């Protein structure tokens, strides 16, 4: 318990300011409290004392104490008002650093865990309640009160941004969407989890501008610019780790400004054997990227995990005897050992310019974020034919579609045929929650559908096992998966090899059907077949496979 036998204790306990003309005058001290005296014997020159509490939202978090004024006179009312204004300014910043006593006594706890414990007090519900009760802008407040309220608003906005980002990280979200609802509507907050957007919170309309402005401050964006998109980055500290965030703004109708945050901490390098490859596809892909030179492409629609797979391949090649250079826009995954370049076309540092610089930097492996245009593709193919292994991505729906897409960019078919080592196409589908998925035997109609989709001959070989072993699974829903029945995502793959037969078809500008038939003859498992295999293993369900591959 705080003592009222000291000036500091009295101020902290009563949460009242104290201004003493003569701190050594016992009558003045007793007028405040009968047992009040100075903490220690004062020096002879100590006379006037001014002390004011620093009040947080729920308790006093400190105090300011001043001894003697510069002019030697007693403290005045103006001094007291200035001290109290300073205390109001410091309060939210000090409160954010406060930790409850039980947390300080936790075994083995040190400062980073304490920061985490303090953040845990700021639940989303409590913060939104603070927002709802916060003072609205008013014209009749004086400048000092308005400044104090603005500072409180900034502190609350910072805590709310932090809480939303940490919530998103804990739920495994890849993105956070802030969407204003009309001129007077609230700010809708949605998380993208396992590929789907889900509602997370609604911030009151009176606070949405403060929240957006706070994020723009964190990302070092132009606060006054609302007519054009902007992008930037910031970092949220979370205990011993940090959450790196990429922010993009988008002007929308009604003079609104949408914000999308991408959590880059969710985009970490993964090993190749953790990329959901089947044993056959893993061996094939490892063989392809083991080539000393040539081009390897990872293709698929937007959001299919191409960058993650590309970095898994780069990570496998990132050994002490190789130099690996990457050019991306933006750089979402950072790996130690890779020499990574952020492309910036606005300053003349586009993909082609960086690639040409790479060729003068003695690399073994070059990673190109995306084949965006003819020039980038031409330089990449040229690099792959001059002793470098080039890894890149392309927007395509299947491995076979990649060839006409690139040839449509006026790439020389002979050069591309010589350079191509392989194309990996992939899709992402939801992974069944292993805690609640329910097995069931397929009906004859489902069996026939599987056979048609897989290919009757191939499926007959696959289904040689007895029907009692042939089981599918359906989503149920439990607490671990938030009632959805799914938890995480799994990749489906197909690999078109850069074989002699495929190279010959590329030179002839063969059709997609001809390329796919040739790949099938060489043993390619299609994305659909890989999805059915994973459905049979209980990793996903048929609905997910159908929606992604058909």
Q: 258 pLDDT exceeds 80? A: yes
| CATH 3.30.450.40 intervals, the chain | 7-95
Kindly list the distances between the CA atom of residue 215 and the CA atoms of 17, 206, 258, 262, 485, in Å, as whole numbers in the listed order.
35, 16, 12, 13, 34
Tell me the pLDDT tens digit for each residue of 89-137: 887 777 766 655 544 444 444 434 434 444 445 788 888 888 887 655 5
Q: 160 pLDDT exceeds 90? A: yes
pTM for the structure as a whole: 0.70
Proportion of the chain above pLDDT 90, given as a percent: 51
Q: Is-contact 180 252, C-beta < 8 A?
A: yes
Span of 61-75, 290-304, 510-524 with lowest mean pLDDT: 61-75
Homologous superfamily of 7-95: GAF domain (3.30.450.40)
Highest mean pLDDT among 11-25, 152-166, 225-239, 272-286: 272-286
Average of per-residue pLDDT across 231-258: 88
Q: Tokens standing for 236? A: 């949220």
Kindly tell me the burial class for residue 211, based on how many C-beta atoms sit within 10 Å of its own C-beta (0-12, 13-18, 19 or more): buried
Proportion of the chain above pLDDT 70, given as a percent: 84
pLDDT recorded at residue 51: 87
pLDDT recorded at residue 142: 52
Q: Could you report how far apart the first and last alpha carbons of the chain are, in Å? A: 69
Tell me the pLDDT tens digit for each residue of 335-388: 999 999 999 888 999 999 999 999 999 999 999 999 989 999 999 999 999 999
d(CA 115, CA 218): 19
Q: In what order do the strands lie in the sheet with 365-368?
A: 339-342, 324-328, 365-368, 389-395, 294-300, 420-432, 486-497
| CATH 3.30.450.90 intervals, the chain | 111-265
Give the CATH fold of the 111-265 domain: Beta-Lactamase (3.30.450)
pLDDT band at 3 (very low <50, low <70, confident <90, very high): low
d(CA 422, CA 272): 16
Average of per-residue pLDDT across 462-482: 74
Average of per-residue pLDDT across 178-207: 89
d(CA 90, CA 63): 10
Average of per-residue pLDDT across 149-174: 83
Average of per-residue pLDDT across 224-237: 91
Average of per-residue pLDDT across 517-536: 93
| CATH 3.40.50.300 intervals, the chain | 272-428+489-524
pLDDT recorded at residue 513: 96
d(CA 136, CA 517): 67
Q: 268 pLDDT exceeds 80? A: no
pLDDT recorded at residue 481: 86
CA atoms within 13 A on the CB side of 200: 28
d(CA 365, CA 391): 8
Mean pLDDT of the chain: 84
Span of 93-102, 211-220, 473-482 with lowest mean pLDDT: 93-102
Q: 309 pLDDT exceeds 90? A: yes
Q: Is-contact 258 244, C-beta < 8 A?
A: no
Question: Between 546 and 518, where is the model more confident?
Answer: 518
d(CA 211, CA 154): 8
Q: Is-contact 441 470, C-beta < 8 A?
A: yes
Q: 182 pLDDT exceeds 80? A: no
Provide the CATH number for the domain formed by 272-428+489-524 in this structure: 3.40.50.300
């Amino acid at each position: 318990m705080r003592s009222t036998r000291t000036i500091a204790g009295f101020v902290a306990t009563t949460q009242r300011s104290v201004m003493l003309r003569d701190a050594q005058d016992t009558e003045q001290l007793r007028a405040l409290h009968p047992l009040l005296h100075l903490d220690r014997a004062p020096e002879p020159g100590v006379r006037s004392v001014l002390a004011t509490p620093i009040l947080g939202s729920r308790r006093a978090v400190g105090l300011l104490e001043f001894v003697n004024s510069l002019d030697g006179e007693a403290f005045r009312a103006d001094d007291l008002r200035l001290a109290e204004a300073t205390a109001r300014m410091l309060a939210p910043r000090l409160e954010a650093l406060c930790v409850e006593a039980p947390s300080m006594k936790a075994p083995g706890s040190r400062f980073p865990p304490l920061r985490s414990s303090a953040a845990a007090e700021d639940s989303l519900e409590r913060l939104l309640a603070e927002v709802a009760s916060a003072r609205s802008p008013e014209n009749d407040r004086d400048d000092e009160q308005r400044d104090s309220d603005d500072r409180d608003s900034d502190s609350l906005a910072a805590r709310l941004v932090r809480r939303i980002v940490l919530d998103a990280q804990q739920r495994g979200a890849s993105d956070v969407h802030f969407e204003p609802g009309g001129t007077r509507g609230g700010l809708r907050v949605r998380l993208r989890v396992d590929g789907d957007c889900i509602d997370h919170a609604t911030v009151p309309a009176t606070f949405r501008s403060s929240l957006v402005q706070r994020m723009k401050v964190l990302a070092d964006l132009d606060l006054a610019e609302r007519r054009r998109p902007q992008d930037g980055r910031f970092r949220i500290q979370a205990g011993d780790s940090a959450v790196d965030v990429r922010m993009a703004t988008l002007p929308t109708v009604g003079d609104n400004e949408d914000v999308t945050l991408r959590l880059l901490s969710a985009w970490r390098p993964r090993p190749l054997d953790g990329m959901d490859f089947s044993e056959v596809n893993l061996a094939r892909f490892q063989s392809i990227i083991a080539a000393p030179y040539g081009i390897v492409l990872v293709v698929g629609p937007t959001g299919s995990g191409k960058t993650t797979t590309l970095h898994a391949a780069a990570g496998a090649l990132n050994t002490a005897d190789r130099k690996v250079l990457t050019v991306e826009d933006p750089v979402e995954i950072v790996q130690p050992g890779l020499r990574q370049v952020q492309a910036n076309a606005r300053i003349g540092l586009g993909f082609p310019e960086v690639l040409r610089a790479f060729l003068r930097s003695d690399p073994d492996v070059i990673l190109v974020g995306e084949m965006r245009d003819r020039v980038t593709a031409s330089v990449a193919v040229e690099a792959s034919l001059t002793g470098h292994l080039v890894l890149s991505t392309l927007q395509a729906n299947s491995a076979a579609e990649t060839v006409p897409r690139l040839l449509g960019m006026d790439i020389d078919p002979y050069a591309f045929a010589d350079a191509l080592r392989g194309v990996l196409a992939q899709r992402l589908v939801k992974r069944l929650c292993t805690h609640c998925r329910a097995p069931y035997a397929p009906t004859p109609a489902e069996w026939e559908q599987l056979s048609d989709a897989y290919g009757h001959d191939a499926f007959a070989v696959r289904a040689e096992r007895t029907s009692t072993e042939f089981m599918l699974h359906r989503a149920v829903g439990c607490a671990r998966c938030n009632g959805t029945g799914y938890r995480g995502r799994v990749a489906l793959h197909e690999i078109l090899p850069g074989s002699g037969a495929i190279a010959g078809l590329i030179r002839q500008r063969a059709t997609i059907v001809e390329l796919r038939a040739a790949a099938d003859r060489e043993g390619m498992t299609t994305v659909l077949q890989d999805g059915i295999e994973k459905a049979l293993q209980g990793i996903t369900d048929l609905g997910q496979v159908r929606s992604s591959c058909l």
